[in-house]
Structure 1
Amino acid sequence: MTTQAAPFSLDQIGTGTARFPSGMAIPTATDAMVDPYIRTRVSKDVQVECIQFWPQDKTAYPGIVLLHDWWGMNSQITDLGARLACEGYGVIIPKLYGRLGGMVTANAEVAEALMAKCNEKLLLQDINTCCEYLNTTEHTKRNIHGVVGFGMGASLAIRFACQRKRLRAAVAYYGKVTAPDQLTNMMSPLLYHQAELDTWATQQDVDHLRAAASQGKRIEIKTYPGASHAFCDETRPAGYQPEAATQAWDTTVAFLKTSFQGT
């Protein structure tokens, strides 16, 4: 399968950083008119630090919250963010390890320890606040959002899809189902990429999703024969499978396009 050309090239993509308090109301342009210092005043609340990518024209696009794997916000996920923006989305990537100093690692043992220290409830709050932040940007459509996650981020994407009722799409690359009893609350369609030989996100996780699908939830599962966990991560040659990664990306692009159609 060959990846089709994206609507935008990388030189047409803008980038920037964002920082806002988790779980708090995000200042709007109207708020800034009343209080010109509202966006620069230092808050005592925990801050969500993010990087953003968006097409540089005057059009508003659907927003995507992109969630990194347990390595932290590394160059691989930011490259994916820019690539996703090329498909016509305003993308925001939060530092999920912000409460742990924003750490990034290439060591699996350290990554596992970092993930274990995370509070899932607080991370879901951060992700929700990212959606509210997107509602204040000129390049993103209001409440037209999706979430895409990898590994640890995929597990959070599944949980978030069960929490935010206005979410339009969720994509999970080899994530765990951490709360199967919550799948009945899922409102958005979910695309799940399963690595056949995955020993982290197991068949039991997929079985939970299939059970929810049998009860009417809009869940699509794509399985990649012979693929191991993180088969889309080109920075880890031992497990990277280019053909499966390309197929998964093309499926994701098509799924998002369908999910946001008419918005």
Structure 2
Amino acid sequence: MNSVPQTSACVGLSKEAVSQEAIDLYDAFTHDRLDRRSFMERMVTLAGGTVAAATLISLIAANPAKAAMVPEGDSRLETGPLSIETFNGPLRAYMAKPKVIAESIPVVLVIHENRGLNPHIEDVARRLALAGYIAVAPDFLSPLGGTPGNNPDLARDMIGQLAPDTTLMNAASAVGFAQSMAGANGKVGAVGFCWGGGLVNRLAVAAPDLDAAVVYYGRQPDVADVVTIRARLLFHYAGLDERIGAGKAAYETALKNAGKPFTSYVYEGVNHAFNNDTSEARYDKAAAELAWSRTLEFLAANLKG
């Protein structure tokens, strides 16, 4: 596999010049607990210098300054904070919904990546609100003080400190909260990305009241547990994402054997996090737009019908 040209003058480095090796290395750092020192040493070697390495990382990592697809002040929406009560204390959350609701509508939980509840996830919530949903994006880092602003590395460290079973119970509490929201029709869906995709898979196992689950490149649950799933399932996989793709076949076989309905798509030639438009190197516009159209169609069929 070709690496990035060996130069320290890479200010103009394009998305196309970022090697798969660099993306895989970043993925190992952010998901497989590769320590920072080893990550930086290997990235500098790969890029050919510290300046080039910094440029590479900036292209791969999410950029919180990236403009939102739906601005915070969109006049068609009502947005703001809310609090979800759980056995573990309150979860902070971001809510977006149509400003005018003629009749009751479904609620969709938006489950964040391992960077916590950041502006990108809030933007996704607003996109769902424009599609006719009450979108609720919980901050699962609330028990640790909430998502740290503009510090994704710290957020990832904090995600690793969460107790998985407690987090799952908090997510199940969010489903119950969503069912009883003012203006809601009682149907609840969940859309999760990366870490959040894995949580949505586990939530489908644990929450019988969840009606629809959309998983973007999320880790699969224990296949022995799929018998309890009642939600309809939609999976979006990245063709180049070997880490998450490794569990696909066993999971889908277990679902078939248990008679659980699901739809699964693989987007060839794209990377993990292809939907995140704040990551220049990994975002794939065509795949993201296709997956989003399929997501909206799926949610409408299972929550609005």
State the TM-score, normalized to the length of structure 1. 0.82
C-alpha contact 2:208 2:230 (8 A) present in aligned 1: yes
Choose which of 206, 216, 219 in structure 1 pairs with 2:262: 219
The equivalences for 1:58-207 within 5 A come to 58=101, 59-104=103-148, 110-142=154-186, 144-201=187-244, 203-207=245-249
Distance change >3 Å, CA 111–CA 181, structure 1 → 2? farther
Distance change >3 Å, CA 258–CA 62, structure 1 → 2? same
Distance change >3 Å, CA 12–CA 192, structure 1 → 2? same
Any idea what SS the aligned residue of 2:287 has?
helix
Any idea what SS the aligned residue of 1:11 has?
coil
The equivalences for 1:210-249 within 5 A come to 210-215=252-257, 216-249=259-292
The percent identity for this pair of structures is 26
Q: Bigger shift: 77-86 or 205-214? A: 205-214
Q: Distance in 1 between matches of 2:92 and 2:149?
A: 17
- The structure where helix makes up a greater share of residues is 2
Task: Find out whether 1:19 has 2:97 as its counterpart.
Answer: no
Any idea what SS the aligned residue of 2:301 has?
helix
Q: CA deviation at 1:171?
A: 0.2
Look up the match of 2:45.
Answer: none
C-alpha contact 2:192 2:214 (8 A) present in aligned 1: yes
Q: Bigger shift: 161-170 or 128-137? A: 128-137
Q: CA deviation at 1:165?
A: 1.2
Any idea what SS the aligned residue of 1:260 has?
helix
Look up the match of 2:91.
Answer: 48
Q: CA deviation at 1:133?
A: 2.0
Give the alignment's Cα RMSD to 1 decimal: 1.9
Any idea what SS the aligned residue of 2:291 has?
helix
RCO comparison, higher one (Cα < 8 Å, 6+): 1
Distance change >3 Å, CA 206–CA 111, structure 1 → 2? farther
Q: CA deviation at 1:137?
A: 2.3
Distance change >3 Å, CA 123–CA 11, structure 1 → 2? same
Letter in 2 for 1:11: S
Task: Find out whether 1:256 has 2:299 as its counterpart.
Answer: yes
Cα deviation digits, residues 46-67 of structure 1 (max 9, x gap): 2111111111224211111110
Q: How many residue pairs end up in the alignment?
A: 231
Distance change >3 Å, CA 108–CA 191, structure 1 → 2? same
Q: Distance in 2 between matches of 1:73 and 1:17?
A: 12
Letter in 2 for 1:113: D
State the TM-score, normalized to the length of structure 2. 0.71
Q: Which has the larger radius of gyration?
A: 2
Q: CA deviation at 1:18?
A: 1.2
Letter in 2 for 1:14: E
Letter in 2 for 1:228: N
